[in-house]
Structure formats: C-alpha cells, structure tokens
A and B are shown apart, each in its own frame.
Chain A
Amino acid sequence: MQSANMLLKNFVRCSAFPFAVQHGMKKDLFGLCRTLILSPCLKEGSSHNLSEKLDLDEWKKVMKSGLQEVNETVSEHEELSTLAAARETVEMWRLAGRSVPENISEDQLKTFIECPSKSSKKKYLKYLHLKELYKKNDKRKMDEKRERRLETQDKASKTDEIKRNSFTCLWANAIDKTHNWRAAQAMVFGQPLVFDMSFENDMSPREVTNTVRQIVLSEGCNRKSVDPFHIHFCNLKENSQYHREFIKYYREAWDKLLITVTDQCYTNVFPKDKIIYLTADSPKVMKTFDHDKIYIIGSMVDRSIKTGVSLAQAKRLGLETACLPLEKYLLWNTGAKNLTLDQMMHILLTLKDTGDWRKALEFVPKRKYCGFVGRSVHELKKSLSLMNTLKHGKRQEEVRKQFAKNYSKKLTQK
C-alpha cells in the first residue's frame, strides 16, 4: 500500500516524463506481486535469476524530471547578492550534513561573512547550531511542563479542594525584598569587592559577553548571600562593550541595581595600601581572608593564552597581589588555575562567612582537581601519576597510530 502511495507521488512529480513513469510503475507493480512468491529465493541472494534487469540509471531520470519548474526560477535571478549567496552557502552546508543552524538572521549572516578564515566561519556556524539546538530543547521542555501543569490543574479543579494557609502566597516577592534589603545594607556597611572593568581591549566580543554573563551570575549569588559584599564596578566607561552587554542582560533593572558603578579607577576610590589584586599569576599566595582589605577581581575571560594581563595591571599601579592557595589545599589535576568570576564570588563569600578554605574551595570545578590534600596525599599522588602515565602513554600511542593512518592514506591517494 505504501509503495503504491509513493508511486502515486512519483506519478505526480514525473508527469513530464510519461515514459519513465510508465516504465517504473510497471516494474514496481510487477515486483510487488512477485515478492509474495519469490521471497524465500531472495534470501539466497539470487537476484540474478530475476528475469528483469535493474535499470541502474533510473534515479537520474527521476532527479532530472522533477526539475523543470525549479530550473526556471534559478535562471531568473542569476546574480546573487553577497548576503543571499552566504545564506545559500549555509543552506547547502546544512544539506551536506554539517553542523549549521536552520535559521540564521541577517546580523548573524553579516558576522558570518566577516569571519576572517574558513575555520572561524565553521566555528561560528557550529556555535549558532548548538545555540539553536539548546533553545529548541528548552522550548520543548517548557511545552511539556506546561502540558503537565495543565493536566494537574485539571485534576485539582475536579477535586475542588480549598487550601487553608496563614500566609498569602507572595514568596518570590518577599524574598526579593529581603535580598534587596540586605544588599542595601551592604551598600552602607558592607565590605567592598571590586570588579576591574579595564580589559575590554584584551578580549574578543564573545569573551566580553561571557564575562558579563559571569558577573551577572556573581551579582546574583552575592545578593542571595547572608552577608553580601558591596560590589563596585570600577573603570566602567559609559557606552563601552561591557556597559552595552550589561544593559542587554539587566535592561531597566540596571539602574536599580544595588551596586556602585564608576568610571574611576579603584586606586582613586580606595586607599592603595588596602587593595589586594586577585590574580592567578601572582607569586604571593593568599593565606587568610582579610575583612579590612579591598579585593579586586579582574573582569576578564581569557579563551586564548594571555598570561599576566591582570598581573601587569597590578604591577603598573603598584598594588599588592595574591592568588588562591589552590596548590596547598587541592591536588590539582588538569585545567588552568584561573577560575570563572562566579566561582571566585562563591569562594570569597564562603571565606567571608566561615573562613574555612576547604568549604570555600568546594566551588572549584570537580574536574580540575582529584581531591583535597589530606591524610592520603601519597596514595592520591601515586594514583594520579599512574593515571597520567597511562593516559599519556595511551595518547602517544594514539597519536602515532593516527599519524600512521593519515600517512598511509596520503600515500594511497597519490
């Protein structure tokens, strides 16, 4: 039945080539009848016994046949604008099965065209593709959730039960109020914590976006803490990339944020001898959290290798620097020692509340370390080195194999 349907479809498409259709239909119908009879024979792979020969080039006829109308539209606008051409290229890549977004906006296309190299173009498209995928998944989940909620509501309305409660349900609102109250208190009495916004020129636009996102997260967790910091954004120029990104995230809430924003440098706001610049490149290791000092975090995401940028900043201004005692407390495994801004915020908040390094360093991502330094240090170290040798040994082997494979491939291509 299904194949008959297909045939019908073919018939509509192929009407320009009646001969091909007739041919195909005859054969197909014939085949359909015969499967019932011949199926046991087929298993032995005796397709040669079939009286009818396969027409191997038939697919070409089918491909060419459906084309008459398409062909005309192509010739209409031969010269494509660059934008349209780029859209067309992206579409073809999608057809070829590359990771490319389904929908692409005009702005994104422009960024795509401006990418300087092929690999950067590919990377950008892949990024858009993944973004689209996440968005789609989120939407699907939301829809499912809504449906479930509707179902439970239906049930609830059926049972028609009246709940009694002494509080009116205003949770979110009330919590917001207490958080803001605390943040307002911190504005007056709290310990300052400075984000240094002077690294715009060292970052790509995407890194700036990431930075701002991390700062937004940090601000959120600061507001929710029991004893928040008084956050300062220093060196934040009006209409800089940072500023624009912040407005994108906060919108009208930006002006109501309980933090201090200034375009001045922290050295003008605070006494120099109280400032400690936190940077992973610092030779000095932080021992305890000092409640009288003003800690500075450089607002920078570094996806390339730019070591010593924030250390240079501190050197230039003649400030004291410090890094977290990661080595002292953690058995480091992989990854760079620079942490994200929200992780730093969590760590500093915990230190401020408890002074307990172990508790604070729980916020370092688990993949980066093997465990806390403790009684079984030796065991851990041993297993770590063993693991590493195994891994590296294996990897070298892999690299060699890969190379041998590529090499022989290259030879055969010639």
Chain B
Amino acid sequence: VQPPEKPLQAEEWNRLRENFQSPEIFEDVMFNSMVRCNSPIDVAKSLLTYVAKSDGDIRYNLLIKYLALCVQQQKTAEICDVYDIMKMRFKILESGAYNLLIRGLSNSDQWRMALTLLEEVKKIMTPSRTNYESCIKAASHHQEMNLACELYHEMLAKDLVPTLDVLQAFFDFSRGMKDAELKKELFGILLYLRENQIYPHRTFMRSIKLWFESIPGENWRGHLTNIKDSGQCPVCSHQLEDSDLTEKEYNNLRERIITDVIHGSDTFRKTSPQEFEAFQTFVEDRLPFDIVIDGLNVSHIKPRKMQCENLFHAVNCLAKENLRLLVLGRKHMLINSSNWKQEIMKEMQNKADFFFAENISEDDAFLLYATLRSGKHCKFVTRDFLRDHKACLSDSLTRHLFRKWQRGHQISIKMIFSVFIQQPAFNYDCVVQTTGDTWHIPYKDTFEERYSYEVPRKWLCLKQK
C-alpha cells in the first residue's frame, strides 16, 4: 500500500481500511510502508489519532513503528513524548524500543537522556553494542571525552566488540586536544587493534592520521605506503616486527595444538593414542625438519597428472636445496595402484622422511605437530587453510596466535606452466605496531576485505620529526 501524502480524517482512514484486503492488519501494514517511504510525520499522527479514537488505545507495536518513523526523521520532541507515553503505559520497555530511543536521542541535543536510557536498559539486560555506539558517539560529539572513555571501558568489560565507527569517533573528536589521559586512551585503542588483529579501513585510517598530525607540539607526519617483502618501510626505512612468536607464545601454541586439535574431547576422533605415540617417537628420532609436506594435499595439485607424480615433483624441487623434508601421508599410498606407483614412492623415500597414518586418521593434525616440534625455522606446505583446526582451538587469543604463526610458516604453492613456484611466507608481522616515535598501521583500502586470510598490503607510516 502507498501511504497518503497528507493527514487524513478519521472517516477517510476508515474508508481506506475497509477497502484493504485484510482490515485487521491494516494499521501495521500502513505503518510499515510509512517507515519505508519515510512519510511525513503528520500522516502517521493522523493515523494514530484515528486508531486511538476508534479503539481507545494504541497497541505497543504501532507505537514502536511510529517511534521508528520519528527516529528516522530526527523529531526529538516527538521521541520524548512517545517515551513518556510508553513509560506511563508499560512497566518496562523491550529492547527494540530502547534501541530506537537511544539511537534517536543520541543524535539530538537531548543526548543526555540517551545515557539515562542506557542505564535503564542495563537494569533488564545487557545493552547491545549499537546502544553503546550511539551513546559514545553522542558523548564524544559533545566533547565529553571522559564520559565516552568510561562507556567504552564498560562496553569492553561486558565482552562487547566495539564497532569500528566507535573507535573512529574517538579519533575524530579528540583532534587537536591536549590531554595526556585522552592520548593514553587513544593509544590503548590502537593497541586493541593490534591485539585483536583488526585492520582499520581507509576513512578510519585517515582519522588516525589526522589525529596524530594534530597533536600539539609533537610534530607527527603520516605517509601512506606499501611495505616491501623484506619488511622494510620505504618511508622511514624502519624494519617491521618479524612474524615469529615469542618463546612463550610458541610453547603455548604447541601445547594447545596437542590438547585441543589432536586430542580434543576424544583422541580417537582424529587418530588413536597408539598412533599418536608412534608418530611422536618417529618425529623425536628424526628432528629437526626444515619443511613438512602434506603429501595428499600436494598430490592433488594437478588433477590431470598421476598423484604420485605431483608429489614427486614437489619433493624433488624442495630436496634440491638440501632441506630436511618430512612427508605425511596415509597408508593407502603404499599400495600399488594407478595413482600411486611403488617405484616412484621408493625413490621419494630416499629423499625425504615419510610417515604414513591410518587411512581414517587426520594427517593435518600431525602436520601441525611436526612443524611446531621442529622449531621456528620449520615451514609446512599445504593448500589447506586449516580453518577447521583453527576452529578447534578454544579461545580467540590462541586462534590469533595460530593465524599469525600460519602466516609466517605456511608455504602455499601454485603450479604455473609446470614450474614449481613457492610463495614465500611473510617475513614481517601484519599488525599495528609502534616503537614509540613511529607507528605503522596496516589498513584496508576498500571497505570490505574479501577474505579473512588476506592481510592488507597498504600501510600508514607515522613518524615524529
């Protein structure tokens, strides 16, 4: 239905309603389309008046829809009125109404009321992150940075993930302020980005840059740049942090891979205790390896070729550099078949160590274990993204560690014109980083990054002169 353009009299509404195919939902449908078409508020009011007069009451969901319309058009006085009416009528309101009220009021000069509403929400449930977003934005918009920070910390304490908009608001509104506390807060936000491996988008990056350059008396200069594969910043020729984990992180990750990925809730799901023990002794005897290869994954690279030929090709290429190789496979590879020729398998076993797992075991878990056990220099070859193994890790911190380690140690392979090309693992770590007088911040050029495993190649280099 098309909402009318002008307020209607009761009898006109009545006529419209009677002509409507299902009169009992007429008001709901009409209000929905008013919100969609952004109709003038007077039209909605006239419909409410009609409903109030014919029923003597207005249902809650109609009030909410009217409220949505008011919020959409920033009618602050109306929003307050509706709130008063709701407050009188109902003991408590539900989250939908609060969301609308907070959103509507935080954009107006009545923004302090949004804060009291937030307090009210807290009494009955945890406010959503958009609730906090509205309030924080309102507070920082009115230069109440302390209040904004307080809300921000409260939000983090409730395990809510702040939107990038909120973080950006902090940088936008504290431009040019000289306040040591606030500066610490903003550095804290940058560290939050670092810890959670969040990359700001282009506009957010611009806000960060402008804020840095606006700090009075500190003389920051920002440049946009691409970092070379070597990990050196072309602007300030500073060497970025390498992607190695610290000793503690590394050990932690290894422990967690064993407990969460290999054993999990039940060791028998991926392997068996006997097999894992056999594998452990096998690895301990032959340590350390330079490269661990997922045999089955590599053997499927070229579907036209025989599987063992693919593997043979890869092993040959890597063996030329005198690296110690470990190839993981399954027992079925040892049975002569059209895909697995035993002569070739024998030849390969001269060049690399092989471990064959049971046919129903998961070889990926062994791949991770062997690589981590061999030490930091060891890399692994597979096309697999290992997402399911990452998902087995129980907390997000370890998952981040896993991702970081994977970025630095996974060699992905592409076969172009039958030449075996290695894509080197990143030498530097792609996170927000600082040395005190420099900051390097990776950012996403477009709003959406297509894949989560892709890391941005563009950087913001900030330097103090």
Contact = CB atoms under 8 A, between A and B. Distances in A.
Q: Do these two chains really belong together in a complex?
A: yes
Interface of A: 3, 6, 9-10, 13-14, 24, 28, 31-32, 35, 42, 45, 47-48, 50, 54-60, 62-64, 66-67, 70-71, 74, 80, 85, 88-89, 92-93, 95-97, 118, 202, 283, 307-309, 311-313, 315-316, 403, 407, 414
A387 B447 CA distance: 34
Size bin of chain B's contact surface: 35 or more
B450 to A, nearest CB: 11
Given A9-B56, A92-B60, A92-B92, A55 B266 contact: no
A312 B266 contact: yes
A93 B90 CA distance: 12
Contact of A92 (B57, B93, B128): B93
Contacts of B126: 118
Nearest to A314: B268
B42 A56 contact: yes
Contacts of B447: 407
A63 B52 contact: yes
Nearest to B86: A63
29 contacts: A3-B54, A13-B56, A42-B12, A45-B6, A47-B6, A50-B9, A54-B9, A54-B49, A56-B42, A56-B46, A57-B45, A59-B45, A59-B48, A59-B53, A60-B81, A62-B52, A62-B57, A63-B88, A63-B89, A89-B92, A96-B94, A97-B28, A97-B61, A202-B265, A308-B269, A311-B269, A312-B268, A315-B272, A315-B360
A309 B56 contact: no
Nearest to B14: A3
A57 B58 CA distance: 13
A23 B108 CA distance: 34
A95 B59 contact: yes
A62 B53 contact: yes
A118 B130 CA distance: 14
Nearest to A2: B54
Contacts of A97: 28, 61
Contacts of A308: 269-270
A29 to B, nearest CB: 12
Interface string B21-58: 00000001000000000000010011011011111111
A63 B272 CA distance: 70
B359 A283 contact: yes
B357 interface: no
Contacts of B89: 63, 67, 70
Contacts of B90: 92, 95
B456 interface: no
Contact of B58 (A63, A71, A309, A414): A63
A56 B12 contact: no
B10 A96 contact: no
Given A3-B54, A67-B89, A316-B266, 9 more contacts: A42-B15, A54-B49, A56-B49, A59-B51, A62-B49, A62-B56, A63-B58, A96-B64, A315-B360
Contacts of B85: 60, 63-64
A10 B94 contact: no
Query: Which among A56, A311, A313, A407 has the highest number of chain B CB atoms within 10 Å?
Result: A56
Contacts of A96: 60-61, 64, 94, 96-97
B53 A85 contact: no
B125 interface: yes
Nearest to B272: A315
A89 B92 CA distance: 7
B386 interface: no
Contacts of B4: 45
**A interface: dominant SS:** helix
A20 to B, nearest CB: 11
Given A95-B59, A312-B266, A313-B268, A70 B88 contact: yes
Contact of A59 (B9, B42, B58, B97): B58
Contacts of A60: 81, 85
B269 to A, nearest CB: 4
A403 B165 CA distance: 19
A340 B88 CA distance: 52
B360 A47 contact: no
B309 to A, nearest CB: 25
B91 A311 contact: no
Contact of A312 (B9, B56, B96, B269): B269
Nearest to A321: B360
B117 interface: no
A64 B125 CA distance: 27
Contacts of A6: 53-56
* 10 interchain residue pairs of minimum CB distance: A312-B268, A92-B94, A95-B60, A59-B52, A56-B45, A62-B52, A59-B48, A312-B269, A97-B61, A308-B269
A311 B265 CA distance: 14
Contacts of B91: 74, 80, 88
B343 to A, nearest CB: 27
Interface string B254-278: 0000000000011011101000000
B7 interface: yes
Most buried by B among A50, A70, A93, A95: A95
Nearest to A13: B56
B124 interface: yes
A337 B6 CA distance: 59
B193 interface: no
B186 interface: no
B8 interface: yes
A59 B56 CA distance: 9
B319 to A, nearest CB: 32
Nearest to A38: B11
A109 to B, nearest CB: 14
A63 B93 CA distance: 16
B49 A55 contact: yes
Interface string B231-273: 0000000000000000000000000000000000110111010
A96 B65 CA distance: 9
A128 B388 CA distance: 33
A58 B53 contact: yes
Nearest to A92: B94
Contacts of B124: 85, 89
A66 B57 CA distance: 8
Contacts of B88: 63-64, 67, 70-71
A35 B14 CA distance: 11
A118 B158 CA distance: 13
Contact of A95 (B15, B56, B61): B61
A312 B78 CA distance: 63
B61 A283 contact: no
A204 B265 CA distance: 15
B402 to A, nearest CB: 19
A88 B268 contact: no
Nearest to A6: B54
Contacts of A313: 268
B49 A58 contact: yes
Interface string B196-207: 000000000000
Contacts of B28: 97
